[in-house]
Amino acid sequence: MNATAGQELIDRQEADERGEDEEACKPVILFSNTTRAAFQAWIETNDDDEFRFWDYEPFNAKSGRVVLYFFPTAVQALAVSKIITKIRSELVRIGNDEELSETLLTLPSPTLRFGIHLRLPDGALEPRDAFFKGLPNVVVHSAYTETWSHLEEKLRSYMTPTTTVQVAIGIKMFRSEKRIMIFRRIDDDNFYEDEVDLTTTEPGCISISVEALYHGVAIPTALVGHEAEEVKVDLKWLRNIIDTFERSL
């Protein structure tokens, strides 16, 4: 383990304030080479918020490295929670039933293992009636000092037959750059990808079908007949919440 990782993140955060974008997006190495099993054991015994936003980058099926891109920020937590909460409230609106909000469970920062990957989304939604627990249909990742291509790679990794994920959302908030990306599964081998600049006047919305949210389980009675209807997260609304929060800092 890199004993100076925390200080390196602090140093890079100060570099970010001077405008060194290229340096700010370089990862800080926490473990240069570790087995996935050893790192999972470390996670279980080290509940440290300072290193909570780790990325496990596999070399092969057994080992990889663990890197850090940033300290957790309040604006990231806000954006993720608003997306998750909005999805659940939209289900209530569509089915006109308050109890529908309880049919999807919120998983805050779950550690997900699939294929050769070990992922830590910032938020996730799982059907309450899922037979196997800890396997979400929706994941949300936030990024600050992390390259857009790296965030895209993480989201893309979910779009394989080895996961239950139907929708993967990524949002980047770095200075004036605010962008959001969404991957939607079509079937085991195909998916749809979209990218939106949140700084545009009318950025549109995220759309997710009711059916995708309940993939693998029975649709709640109040939503029968609404399977093809889309839950929408207004991105102008989301941007305004983020902007208002940032102005208050």
What is the pLDDT confidence band of residue 158, given thresholds at 50, 70 and 90?
very high
Whether the per-residue pLDDT at 156 is higher than 90: the answer is: yes
- What residues have CB less than 8 Å from 145, skipping those under 6 apart? 12, 13, 16, 24, 25, 69, 70, 174
Residue span of the structural domain in which 109 resides: 74-248
Cβ neighbours of 161 (radius 10 Å): 11
**Same domain as 168, residue 113:** yes
When pLDDT is averaged across residues 129-138 and rounded to a whole number, the result is 90
Question: Both 122 and 222 in a single domain?
Answer: yes
Q: Check residue 20 and give its pLDDT.
A: 45
Q: Let me know: does 140 contact 156? Beta carbons within 8 Å.
A: no
Domain end marker among 68, 92, 113: 68
Calpha distance 63→22 (Å, rounded): 27
Query: How many domains does one find in the chain?
Result: 2
Amino acid residing at 186: I
Same domain, 104 and 141: yes
Task: Measure the CA–CA gap between 38 and 30, rounded to whole angstroms.
Answer: 13
Pair 63, 162 in one domain: no
Q: What is the CATH number of the domain that holds 235?
A: 3.90.1570
For residues 99 and 190, membership in a common domain is answered with yes
Whether residue 149 is found in the same domain as residue 237: yes
Percent of the chain with pLDDT over 70: 93
Q: Where are the alpha helices (DSSP H) in the chain?
A: 5-17, 21-24, 36-45, 74-95, 148-157, 210-213, 235-248
A 10 A CB-CB count for 234 gives: 14
What pLDDT shows up at residue 18?
Answer: 47
Mean pLDDT computed over every residue of the chain: 89
Do 30 and 129 fall within a single domain? no
Here the tokens at position 203 are 């950025």
140 in the same domain as 42: no
List, for residues 183-201, the tens digit of each pLDDT value: 999 998 899 999 999 999 9
Q: Label residue 101 exposed, middle or buried (CB < 10 Å: 0-12, 13-18, 19+).
A: middle
Query: What pLDDT sits at residue 47?
Result: 63
Q: What is the pLDDT of residues 13-37, one digit of tens each?
A: 665 554 445 666 778 899 999 999 9
The distance of Cα 29 from the centroid of its chain, to the nearest Å, equals: 21
Whether the pLDDT of residue 236 is over 90: the answer is: yes
How far is the C-alpha of 58 from the C-alpha of 145, rounded, in Å?
A: 21
Number of H helices, E strands in the chain: 7, 13
Q: Considering only residues 190 and 1, tell me which one the structure prediction assigns the higher pLDDT.
A: 190
**Distance separating alpha carbons of residues 215 and 201, to the nearest angstrom:** 34
Per-residue pLDDT reduced to its tens digit, 50-102:
677 789 999 999 999 999 887 778 899 999 999 999 999 999 999 999 999 99
| Phi, psi at 234, each rounded to 5° | -65, 120
> Is 109 in the same domain as 137?
yes
Whether the CB-CB separation of 61 and 116 falls below 8 Å is answered with yes
Q: What is the CA radius of gyration of the chain?
A: 18
Among residues 22, 45, 68, the one where a domain terminates is 68
Same domain, residue pair 58 and 136: no
pLDDT band at 3 (very low <50, low <70, confident <90, very high): confident
CA distance 183 to 146: 18
End-to-end C-alpha distance for the chain, whole angstroms:
34
Same domain, 83 and 41: no
Which of 41-55, 100-114, 175-189, 198-212 is predicted least confidently?
41-55
Same domain, 88 and 33: no
pLDDT tens for residues 210-233?
A: 999 999 999 999 999 999 999 999
**What is the predicted pLDDT for the residue at 145?**
79
- Can you tell me the mean pLDDT for 156-163? 93
Quote the pLDDT of residue 19: 46
According to the model, what pLDDT value does residue 174 have? 77
